[in-house]
Structure 1
Amino acid sequence: GRRSNRMTRLRPEAMRAANPVACCRPRSGRLRVATLLEDLLDAQLRKGFDPAQEGLDPLLCAWEDALSSETGVINLNDEDAERLATASHHWREGVAGNVAPARACLELATPAEGEDLWPLRFFLQAESDPTLKLPASAAWAAGPRGLQLGEIPVEHPSEVLLEGMGRALTVFAPIERGLESATPEAMQLTPAEAFVLVRTAARQLRDVGVGVDLPPSLSGGLASRLGLAIKAELPERSRGFTLGESLDWSWELMIGGVTLTLRELERLSGKRSPLVRHKGAWIELRPNDLKNAERFCSANPELSLDDALRLTATEGDTLMRLPVHAFDAGPRLQAVLEQYHQQKSPDPLPAPEGFCGQLRPYQERGLGWLAFLHRFDQGACLADDMGLGKTIQLLAFLQHLKVEQELKKPVLLVAPTSVLTNWKREAAAFTPELNVHEHYGPRRPTTLAALKKALKDVDLVLTSYGLVQRDIDLLESFDWQGTVIDEAQAIKNPSAKQSQATRDLARTRKGTRFRIALTGTPVENRVSELWALMDFLNPRVLGEEEFFRQRYRMPIERYGDMSSLRDLKSRVGPFILRRLKTDKAIISDLPEKVELSEWVGLSKEQKSLYAKTVEDTLDAIARAPRGKRHGQVLGLLTRLKQICNHPALALKEKEASEDFLQRSAKLQRLEQILEEVIEAGDRALLFTQFAEWGTLLREYLQRRWRSEVPFLSGSTSKTERQAMVDRFQEDPRGPQLFLLSLKAGGVGLNLTRASHVFHIDRWWNPAVENQATDRAYRIGQNNRVMVHKFITSGSVEEKIDRMIREKSRLAEDIVGSGEEWLGGLEMGQLKELVSLEDNPS
């Protein structure tokens, strides 16, 4: 009090002037100082605080956004609003019964031998530890002085008990008989009343804050339902097994932890009582139990390895409508189950013979994982973080199959058009023994006979999602050894035509030995989009779409049911391998800077414009006086680089058109990678040497992600430049993407918040590019830096990139003199440099 009075006297005059009327009121000065201290402390605690939203409930995310907004309004859709109302209701109900440290508790006991009535005893139970209980007699005897529940003091225990019994009466009417005495301690229930308590009233009593303890065999959940106890083992084989093969197995019926035969079940059902005694335990029989058991016994089903893997993935799974309460696996089967459920990782595989390159340790583990799931004919989703080499691991897996002589037929790989070139290049570099064919373009086969002829001796066939949709009848009729989808998020919308066509292609299973999905998106957290992926990989895992919606999507997305989320993750976990760059086990395998060549093609418009520009300009250069030829050559190269970026740049368009994305293959690939960057919460620098391109790109990216994308160019003032850098580098809510002109932003900046650097168009001087990269890759950088260098296949970009990588004499000239050396090329050299190759090797 003395300190607050002193602070009030010493407060600055500015505080007094803020509200002179309030300052005249008693105690208003102390109140104003207290309010100020509260605001200062709140601001200090919030400074630099960036709460992680990954894995956070959508309602909590909405709440946080509201707190940080000016309006303070929570914006929810109808489903989330309904879910919030339901959750609030349950919270209020829970608070009503949780204000005291203890609550009333009802304990049901089973009848004594030869008796029909069920004892129901009253207890006082600790809220924080339900195992701490005292009989009602102790509560009545304690009186107002209170008692101890373990170390928990309870004041007025008799009032707590009476209040709880009163709430119990509103839910379970038979309690009224037990309250006839002044100090009730127990009562008896008829079999019908006991059944109501077990089946429905127990849950309702818990909802209003009354504890209920039932006999173990009647405690609710799947364990109290009729189910199966299974013993199973893998038959002895000389080679591996497929998931469809049968196990050696036996089973027993089980309910409430007690086994019984079909004949015993028939006898117990004849008593026409839902609660019956069997082998010393009371169990609950349900109307359809006998029918389900008879159906199961008459079917005499086989148990496959696939069934065993599914039944052991999560508790409560069913076999012909009967839940599996116990699964006893033999030694051989147990070893497979442990590996399959990732309790033990499959053995890593080294790079196969014929693979050109070296696999990192985590990539060898990925190869071993793919081979393990392939051994059981099961689909696999390789969901490694961007830059960890999903392409390389898949190619190594195909080479492994070829070396093991298991690659008997072609494998179909479906990818976005923008990455087909990259696949062809990577296959040629790492697995030159794989015969690769592109099913693409107007000359592709249109009949099954022509397709078979074209794919003779082919190992890997590349095609696009669009062509799968267009050629589905043809592709479905071919016998593929396996189907692989790259950028698997392309099928996330189950109702989209390309998603349906891709899943239909895998579902035919005509010769399809395996299915693999590659994606850098964390699919295990995308509940609403996970079904389509698993329907492609392993349709049996999540069932039909309507079942998935009712069992998982609605409980998780609408009601935030964490139990359903855990169950879902346990089901899909064995089929998804995800490693992050931030994983300490991965970090040790990676260099500090990872350089990635992003090979892209040209759209139809880009090809036409490129060819016409070369044709028109070469004639003009050939006729030009020698003194003017140098400038015209550099002008041609600049226009070609602009075309490789986007036709709009070369055509001097001022705004991004509606078909802006479709007109540039490079932009399509850039958007795909940026989507992964943004979803991962990373930040990225995007370098271009063309200010006009930066302006167009900024407009498009801001519209695409509805967020700020600053662009630092030569016209940016010094003050604006520093403000952009500070927002990107220091602000936790700052922009994730930062566009920079290569000349304006290539030196003098410290941008270590970025973990990705994109060179959208190439500056043909490695030193200049490296200087730009070092804006992020420098002292103070705590993350691996991924450097993405875009190269347009068959164009002048590829040819000069080849010169640089081959360390030729020309590359040394490039380093020393920038691009000036290009202006002095002879006409033959220039023509070879700029001519467009349709089918680059």
Structure 2
Amino acid sequence: MASYLLHGLWLPVSGLSLWIEQVEGHKIVLPSAVPDGAFPEAVEALLKKKSFRNRARVSLRTPKGKDVSLMVPMAMFAPEEAVSALAGLSILDDGNAAASPQQRESIAPDLFWLIRAYRGLRAFVRAGRVTIRLSYQAGEWYPMWQLASGLGERGWLGEMIAAAPGILSINNRSLSEDLAEELTHWIAYVELRHLTQAARPYPWHDFAQALLTTSPVKRGRAQLLRGLNEWKDSITSVDLQLVFIVEEPPKDEDPGQSAWPIRVQVRSGTDSPQPIRLDSLDRASVERLREDRRKAIAIAPVLGESQLPVDPDAGDWDVYLRTDSLVSFIGADAAALKAAGFTVMLPKAWAQMETKAKLETREVRDPAEGSTKAHLGMDKLVEYDWHMSVGDIELSDEEMQQLVESKSGLIRLRGDWVMADTQSISKISEYMEELAQTANKRAKKELERLAAAAEMARQLEQPGWQELVADVEKRRQEFNDGQIEQVSVAELRELALTSMAQEPIEFTGSTWQMALLGGMSTQAPERIELPETIHAELREYQRRGVDWLYWMSRNNIGAVLADDMGLGKTLQLLSLVAVEKTRAEAAGPTLIIAPTSVVGNWAREAKKFVPDFRVLVQHGSDRLRGKQLVDEAAKMDLVITSYGTAGRDFAVLGQVEWDRVVLDEAQAIKNAATRSSKAVRSLPSRHRVALTGTPVENRLSEMRSILDFCNPGVLGSASFFRNHFAKAIEREGSEVMSERLRQLTAPFILRRLKTDPSIIDDLPEKSEQIVTVSMTEEQAALYKALVDDVQKTLNEKHGIARRGLVLASLTRIKQICNHPAHYLGDGSAVTIKGRHRSGKVKELMRIVDGAVESNERLLIFTQYRAFGSILQPYLSQQLGREIPFLHGGVTKNKRDQMVEDFQSPDGPPAMILSLKAGGTGLNLTAANIVVHMDRWWNPAVENQATDRAFRIGQQRNVQVYKMITAGTLEESIQDILDGKTQLAGAVVGEGEGWLTELDPEQLAQLMSYKESD
């Protein structure tokens, strides 16, 4: 047994202090009283370097248990010395030091504890498990290292403090903080000391220098302190978290008596949660966790006290709940805890239990209409059965009821506890209730009708009236028992629309029923034989189009034929009418409503492909009116009119019993609020068809408007569609909602692209080129003067006035880019002394000259009739031949003549067209060069115009030129669309409306003239 003991203390402010006890008599002595060899050599060498002149008051307990306070002579070590001293003493803890057993026993437990604390902290420092703090000392702020606040560090510190000899904690109430802060800092200081001594190519940052040398910071102290504290708080909030883990009770327990454990555990960062053992955590950690627990109990009181006996091996704060309380905890408290930032973990298997609904449908016949007649299309009656599944388990009726009645979604299913998605359950329950009410109303109405028919048969004593009465009684009993579950496909479609927007339902049944309910798209079910009255050889994709249109017609389902421009939509529609005429299935005439520019084209196509058709062109001042129109239309196969005429004559047209109403270029009704759109929607017919090459030009609402004409309500109301589909797809780019919408619309839209080789493989190629031209000096001067004036005015305008100014300015900019005479409107010449005044016109003439040399013809598009009027006489003079200009003011007969002349072998070399009047419906395949003089910035509109030449019948490759002017707004917009530049905060849409939403600085940036180097 050792005769002398070397004690160690870590005192506030002083740090490491050593003192010596003589065991016999328990006296405090100086090193001079200790014989040589009593301590290990490392200790004796350390003690020889220090005097024991310093004294400190120490609280001690005598062997008899008496507490005393004495002034004790000590060897005190400055911080850096303390680290060196503990490093030298740490070899005594290795077991390999050169010391006898008696010498090792001379190291008191308190000093051994300090040595082990040093070794543990040094391991954390070397592992980088430290952070930074600011310490205020003598009026200065010092950056210092401190132990990190992770669960591992806190747990180690808590265990060390719990195991500390009483003398250490009695004499230093802040022992835990001193170890984590002071001793940790000086260990890190010693470990990193070599960094300040090594040569560097550049000096340390002031803060890093202060931290490495334990010097005060020189500037930014308050801001630095605030920033460091925020940073440390963010680390602490991640490093120490309460976690609530719900565990399942044993499977053999009675569900009604089950004890559900909720483990209240703690984790650091992404480490695994650990049971809470308060005696193994440091004081600061315990206080932090207790505060978090108080907050959690305020949200979920059931966490405050266990309802059932706790397992002896459970954590200190674990609770056990009955099943009803657990259901309440999951249903309400868990979500509230998560919202407050706590982590709640449910059994892993529960998270995998996706709740789905499936609706199985079967076709039924209307018993009142006999066995030979069935409803068609959307009016077809179907029986349905609900099936719900949780995960891979399909539930029985009893289990479905149990799940629906479960508020939390927690049920015992075939021996296992499962958690279903409560939101899905709620929506599915709403669907089931809604469909049940619909079926109930239909069944009640049908029962009343059958009962009236049976009563009439009984009174008239018709044969078989007894069977009718008995059938009514049977159906009444089924109705009372809730066994009648029949609805129409249209009613199911409404449910499908809602489910696609919120909680999808899987529909099963016949292929076409599934398609109509949004489950899939499909081809027409059978090939239709074409009659000899069709004088054309249809391509395979056109045959499929006729098959599809015929199936949709026979099922009274509106159809959108959205083939690309030039793929023969007109021929397919005429073939459909011819098929139904041959089969005597048409119940009246077909009304074709088309843009004015193509009314004549429809008449020519009908005469060419179906010459035996009786055709009436209802257009122009000499058109039929009143009863004469009604009588004559009834005798026709086709009546062709324009949107403008339909808007004026809709009241009379509405008196004709149309079999079908067809909209050509149906994007004309993309705005459901216009007069023509309302007019065509008011016309009654058995069947509706929309023909369009661009079902969506700018917004999804346009497609909805067209589909709503064909099948009213098929995509819900405009507000429903906008809120549930358009916003998610257009603003948020939701691929999920985009795919759901595709499924909902696919059965009603047949879309084929001419660029798809499987559709058509004999079209020539089309190449597009952006042609950038330079301004003339005159254009540049006009442009800069305009932009300067606009920028001065822009800040003074607000709201609609500002938007109007932007759009008006855009028009004037385009006019300047086209030609100074277009902007000035002064009737001045295209050139002056043979020199071009416009870079665009100069480039146009280069293209025209090349086309003439190679015997090619051009279509020249402009948005502006005024610019076309400038180009027409100039081109006519340059080419020595009258160049036609097709615009909105040209009469129908004149348009038809223009098209016919241009298509003839000796037609003019070029045609000028306004984009709106000449951009749709025309067949101008004699041209294979297309020039867009000014841009609409809408690919759909520009492609429509291009497709006047790029369509069936074109034999040569088509070259498209799109002109923009260098250094102007035109080039800026093109750069944005090409991805060369970005505009922060701007949503760049198709068309020009997005420009009105830019702030003045962004507009100035786009408009400013950028002269070339």
Q: TM-score, normalised by structure 1?
A: 0.50
**Which of the pair has the greater relative contact order for Cα pairs under 8 Å at 6+ separation?**
1
Larger radius of gyration: 2
Q: TM-score, normalised by structure 2?
A: 0.42
